Amino acid sequence: MDLTLQQLKQYDGTDASKPIYLAVKGRIFDVSAGKSFYGPGGPYAMFAGKDASRALAKMSKSDDDVCANLNGLSDKEIGVLNDWEKKFEAKYPIVGRVVS
Protein backbone atom coordinates (compact mmCIF):
# COMPACT_ATOMS: atom_id res chain seq x y z
CA MET A 1 0.00 0.00 0.00
CA ASP A 2 1.24 3.46 -0.89
CA LEU A 3 0.19 6.42 1.27
CA THR A 4 1.06 10.09 1.14
CA LEU A 5 2.05 11.77 4.42
CA GLN A 6 -1.39 13.41 4.39
CA GLN A 7 -3.12 10.00 4.08
CA LEU A 8 -0.85 8.51 6.77
CA LYS A 9 -2.27 11.03 9.28
CA GLN A 10 -5.59 9.12 9.21
CA TYR A 11 -3.85 6.21 10.99
CA ASP A 12 -2.84 8.04 14.17
CA GLY A 13 -4.99 5.96 16.51
CA THR A 14 -7.78 8.50 16.98
CA ASP A 15 -10.18 6.39 14.86
CA ALA A 16 -10.58 3.06 16.67
CA SER A 17 -11.77 1.40 13.45
CA LYS A 18 -8.40 1.98 11.76
CA PRO A 19 -4.97 0.51 12.52
CA ILE A 20 -2.16 2.65 13.92
CA TYR A 21 0.64 3.28 11.43
CA LEU A 22 4.05 4.87 11.84
CA ALA A 23 6.68 5.30 9.13
CA VAL A 24 10.45 4.89 9.47
CA LYS A 25 12.60 5.90 6.49
CA GLY A 26 9.49 5.89 4.30
CA ARG A 27 8.37 2.38 5.21
CA ILE A 28 5.02 2.12 6.99
CA PHE A 29 4.72 -0.17 10.00
CA ASP A 30 1.45 -1.30 11.57
CA VAL A 31 2.14 -0.56 15.25
CA SER A 32 -1.43 -1.37 16.39
CA ALA A 33 -0.05 -4.12 18.64
CA GLY A 34 1.75 -1.33 20.52
CA LYS A 35 -1.44 0.69 21.03
CA SER A 36 -0.54 1.46 24.66
CA PHE A 37 2.63 3.18 23.34
CA TYR A 38 1.44 4.72 20.06
CA GLY A 39 -2.29 5.18 20.63
CA PRO A 40 -3.91 8.32 22.03
CA GLY A 41 -2.46 9.15 25.43
CA GLY A 42 0.50 6.82 24.92
CA PRO A 43 4.06 8.02 25.52
CA TYR A 44 4.88 7.85 21.78
CA ALA A 45 1.47 8.93 20.41
CA MET A 46 3.11 11.92 18.69
CA PHE A 47 4.77 9.48 16.23
CA ALA A 48 1.52 7.77 15.15
CA GLY A 49 0.31 8.65 11.67
CA LYS A 50 3.65 10.24 10.78
CA ASP A 51 7.14 9.45 9.51
CA ALA A 52 9.09 9.59 12.77
CA SER A 53 12.55 9.02 11.27
CA ARG A 54 14.23 12.24 12.39
CA ALA A 55 12.75 12.09 15.90
CA LEU A 56 13.89 8.48 16.34
CA ALA A 57 17.38 9.31 15.08
CA LYS A 58 17.66 12.22 17.52
CA MET A 59 15.84 10.42 20.37
CA SER A 60 13.51 13.43 20.40
CA LYS A 61 9.83 13.91 21.09
CA SER A 62 9.83 17.47 19.74
CA ASP A 63 7.09 18.11 17.18
CA ASP A 64 9.70 19.78 14.95
CA ASP A 65 11.66 16.52 14.77
CA VAL A 66 8.72 14.22 13.96
CA CYS A 67 9.35 14.17 10.22
CA ALA A 68 11.14 12.26 7.48
CA ASN A 69 13.90 14.85 6.97
CA LEU A 70 17.31 13.26 7.61
CA ASN A 71 19.36 16.27 6.45
CA GLY A 72 22.14 17.26 8.83
CA LEU A 73 21.97 14.15 11.02
CA SER A 74 25.29 12.88 12.35
CA ASP A 75 26.64 9.41 11.58
CA LYS A 76 25.80 8.47 15.18
CA GLU A 77 22.18 9.63 14.74
CA ILE A 78 21.86 7.66 11.47
CA GLY A 79 23.15 4.62 13.40
CA VAL A 80 20.53 5.16 16.09
CA LEU A 81 17.84 5.41 13.39
CA ASN A 82 19.05 2.18 11.77
CA ASP A 83 18.83 0.45 15.16
CA TRP A 84 15.26 1.68 15.58
CA GLU A 85 14.40 0.49 12.09
CA LYS A 86 15.66 -3.02 12.95
CA LYS A 87 13.56 -3.02 16.15
CA PHE A 88 10.45 -2.08 14.19
CA GLU A 89 11.17 -4.73 11.54
CA ALA A 90 11.44 -7.39 14.25
CA LYS A 91 8.26 -6.36 16.06
CA TYR A 92 5.75 -4.91 13.58
CA PRO A 93 4.54 -5.80 10.06
CA ILE A 94 5.51 -3.53 7.17
CA VAL A 95 2.28 -2.59 5.40
CA GLY A 96 3.41 -0.07 2.81
CA ARG A 97 5.48 2.96 1.97
CA VAL A 98 5.16 6.71 1.98
CA VAL A 99 4.93 8.32 -1.45
CA SER A 100 4.99 12.00 -2.39
pLDDT digit string (tens) for the chain, length 100 residues:
999 999 999 999 999 999 999 999 999 999 999 999 999 999 999 999 999 999 999 999 999 999 999 999 999 999 999 999 999 999 999 999 999 8
pLDDT at 26: 97
- In 1-100 the beta strands, taken as DSSP E runs, fall at 2-3, 21-24, 27-30, 94-98
Give the span between the Cα atoms of 45 and 83, in whole angstroms: 20
Rounded alpha-carbon distances, angstroms, from residue 52 to 19, 40, 92: 17, 16, 15
pLDDT at 28: 98
Q: Which domains are assigned to the chain?
A: 2-98 (3.10.120.10)
pLDDT at 41: 96
User: What pTM did the predictor assign?
Assistant: 0.95
Contacts of 58 (CB under 8 A, 6+ apart): 65, 73, 77, 80
